[in-house]
């Protein structure tokens, strides 16, 4: 069986003693092995990235952007190759994999604006004969640690911006989905990126811990589950690094009595069951305002959930593929058992779904739980599967209070025809990304992505303008060329008074 290795200093390297299998979730069989980097391998990767840094930093932003332009073209040309790798290891359906790659390419497009976003700030005449300006130099070697659920897009939230800003980069992808990152790395080399500027180390905690503690790594971007995000943040910052660590979620969709229910139901279906619910922006809770709305929503959702088109993501026109691994499928199934035990009404039960010809695949059907209460674990925990919970409240204030009491604050949305309700909701709710009649309010590349509360540890969001600040360090110059002759010594603190 083939072992996928790393991409270090411009070439593939596959020499590792520890490996683990990578499964094709649709068949349930191991497709290949992935190498798990030792501390020594990560050490060598950091050294390569460190060596490549001075020349890359000195490369004009325009020339860096030109490589990224070329990269965008290559990504578009090779899109099916990347998508095939995503579908084979993650299991999401073909069109959805294309969608995530397209959103990643949008970040590359934004990163091509490097000459604009790195041009700095200038203030003339801040004092007598004195001008002042700020520059935004890169940090050095920076690292990205990414989850399984977006094998291409989440790495691309990070490295295009980091590279555009003049840093060198080490990506540690999820060991469940190693292939897409290796293709992304090869295409960067083909686009003209010098060796060592972008590297991929596959691995687990051993590799991550080396990245978190080595003083040559200046910043770490992380996306994954909340317990690991918190660990990454506390360990990385304790070692003097800048860290942004994006964590888990439980995203609520509030449906008001005046909502356009036809659109709301379709929007909720896609947002809850798309990618098998394995999205950090997936809608996992519907908050029905009023029992009448709750009853009508459940009546309309039930047949749609029962008729989800589920299959091997290599086929076209499907709604949902398998879950990523056997243990994850079992965990999600365990939550459906728990929901029933806790007293939720199991309106649609996906536990017994079987796909003909794919008996060993990690499939589950869509599940709909009604009358879920905030004290239930199926409400509190991130399930990360095709399980939608319906909670009923009496008014908007109760809906907002419910959302605010939850530990996570990644995304949320409200369905309403009333602008004042929409405004009140978006002003008050303690969540980082808010949709008004938009179920997955994932910010576009010229905005930035991040949640509140325990969905994000750190100060700056991913990609967009926040990424420029995250991957650079402000340096402010104050310069005087005296044209007014000799000035007296000043012992009082200089001011413009």
Nearest approach in angstroms of CB 162 to ligand NAD is 16
Nearer to ligand NAD, 74 or 102 (CB): 102
Nearest approach in angstroms of CB 203 to ligand NAD is 7
List of residues 6+ apart from 377 with CB closer than 8 A: 335, 338, 342
The active-site residue out of 112, 280, 413, 446 is 280
Taking CB atoms, the residue at the shortest distance from ligand NAD is 224
Nearer to ligand NAD, 188 or 440 (CB): 440
Are 175 and 482 a contacting pair, CB within 8 Å? no
Cα–Cα nearest to 275, from 21, 22, 25, 23: 25
Residue 192, Ramachandran bin (φ over 0: left; ψ between -120 and 50: alpha; else beta):
left
CA–CA gap between residue 153 and residue 444 (Å, rounded): 12
Q: Which residues bind ligand NAD (CB under 6 A)?
A: 145-150, 154, 172, 174-175, 204-205, 208, 223-225, 228, 231, 246-249, 280, 382, 384, 410, 451, 455
DSSP codes of every residue in 145-168? E--SS-TTHHHHHHHHHHHHTT-E
DSSP 138: B
Nearest approach in angstroms of CB 321 to ligand NAD is 16
Give the strands of the sheet with 19-24, arranged side by side: 3-4, 29-35, 19-24
Nearest approach in angstroms of CB 170 to ligand NAD is 12
Angle between helices 226-238 and 205-213 (to 10 degrees): 30
Nearer to ligand NAD, 25 or 138 (CB): 25
Nearer to ligand NAD, 172 or 252 (CB): 172
Nearer to ligand NAD, 242 or 392 (CB): 242
Nearer to ligand NAD, 412 or 455 (CB): 455
Nearest approach in angstroms of CB 60 to ligand NAD is 32
- C-alpha separations of 132 from 119, 129, 220, 323, 414 in Å: 14, 10, 30, 55, 46
Kind plus residue range of the DSSP H or E element containing 385: none
- For tokens 């967009």, the residue is 464
Cα–Cα nearest to 211, from 189, 243, 185: 243
Nearer to ligand NAD, 131 or 407 (CB): 407
Are 20 and 144 a contacting pair, CB within 8 Å? no
First to last CA, the chain: 75
Nearer to ligand NAD, 17 or 495 (CB): 17
DSSP 281: T
Nearest approach in angstroms of CB 246 to ligand NAD is 4
Nearest approach in angstroms of CB 407 to ligand NAD is 12
Query: CA neighbours within 13 Å on the CB side: how many for 411?
Result: 23
Nearest approach in angstroms of CB 235 to ligand NAD is 9
- For tokens 């091509």, the residue is 112
Nearer to ligand NAD, 43 or 260 (CB): 43
Are 207 and 201 a contacting pair, CB within 8 Å? yes
Are 116 and 471 a contacting pair, CB within 8 Å? no
Are 289 and 322 a contacting pair, CB within 8 Å? no
**280 annotated active-site:** yes
Nearest approach in angstroms of CB 450 to ligand NAD is 7
CA–CA gap between residue 167 and residue 158 (Å, rounded): 11
Q: Which residues are catalytic?
A: 280
């Amino acid at each position: 069986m083939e072992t996928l290795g790393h991409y270090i200093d411009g070439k593939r390297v596959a020499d590792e003693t520890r490996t683990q299998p990578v499964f094709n979730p649709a068949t349930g069989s191991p497709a290949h092995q992935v190498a798990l980097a030792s501390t020594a391998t990560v050490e060598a990767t950091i050294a390569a990235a460190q060596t490549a840094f001075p020349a890359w930093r000195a490369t004009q932003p325009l020339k860096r952007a030109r490589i990224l332009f070329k990269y965008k073209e290559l990504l578009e040309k090779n899109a099916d190759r990347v998508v095939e790798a995503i579908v084979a290891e993650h299991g999401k359906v073909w069109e959805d994999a294309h969608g995530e790659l397209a959103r990643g390419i949008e970040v590359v497009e934004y990163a091509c604006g490097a000459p604009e976003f790195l041009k700095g700030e200038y203030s003339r005449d801040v004092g007598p004969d004195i001008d002042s300006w700020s520059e935004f130099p890169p940090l050095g070697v920076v690292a990205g640690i990414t989850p399984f659920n977006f094998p291409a897009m989440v790495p691309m939230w990070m490295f295009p911006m980091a590279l555009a800003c003049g840093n060198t980069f080490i990506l540690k992808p999820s060991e469940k989905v190693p292939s897409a990152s290796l293709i992304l790395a090869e295409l960067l080399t083909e686009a003209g990126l010098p060796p060592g500027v972008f590297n991929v180390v596959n691995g687990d905690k051993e590799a991550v811990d080396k990245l978190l503690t080595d003083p040559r790594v200046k910043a770490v971007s992380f996306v994954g589950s909340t317990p690991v995000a918190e660990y990454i943040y506390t360990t990385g910052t304790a070692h003097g690094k800048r860290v942004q660590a994006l964590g888990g979620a439980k995203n609520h969709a509030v449906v008001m009595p005046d909502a356009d229910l036809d659109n709301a139901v379709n929007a909720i279906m896609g947002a809850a069951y798309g990618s098998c619910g394995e999205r950090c922006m997936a809608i996992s809770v519907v908050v029905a305002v009023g029992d009448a709305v709750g009853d009508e929503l459940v009546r309309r959702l039930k047949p749609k959930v029962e008729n989800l088109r589920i299959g091997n993501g290599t086929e076209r026109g499907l709604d949902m593929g398998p879950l990523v691994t056997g243990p994850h499928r079992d965990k999600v199934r365990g939550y459906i058992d728990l929901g029933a035990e806790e007293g939720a009404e199991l309106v649609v039960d996906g536990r017994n779904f079987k796909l003909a010809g794919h008996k060993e695949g990690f499939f589950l059907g869509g599940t709909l739980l009604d009358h879920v209460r905030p004290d239930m674990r199926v409400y509190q925990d991130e399930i990360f599967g095709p399980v939608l919970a319906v909670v009923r409240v009496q008014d908007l204030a109760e809906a907002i209070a419910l959302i605010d009491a939850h530990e996570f604050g990644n995304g949320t949305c409200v369905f309403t025809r009333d602008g004042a309700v929409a405004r009140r909701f978006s002003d008050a709710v303690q969540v980082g990304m808010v949709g008004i009649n938009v179920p997955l309010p994932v910010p576009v590349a010229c905005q930035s992505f991040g949640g509140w509360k325990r969905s994000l540890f750190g100060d700056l969001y991913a990609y967009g303008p926040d990424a420029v600040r995250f991957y650079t360090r402000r340096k402010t110059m104050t310069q005087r060329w005296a044209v007014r002759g000799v000035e007296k010594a000043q012992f009082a603190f200089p001011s413009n008074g």
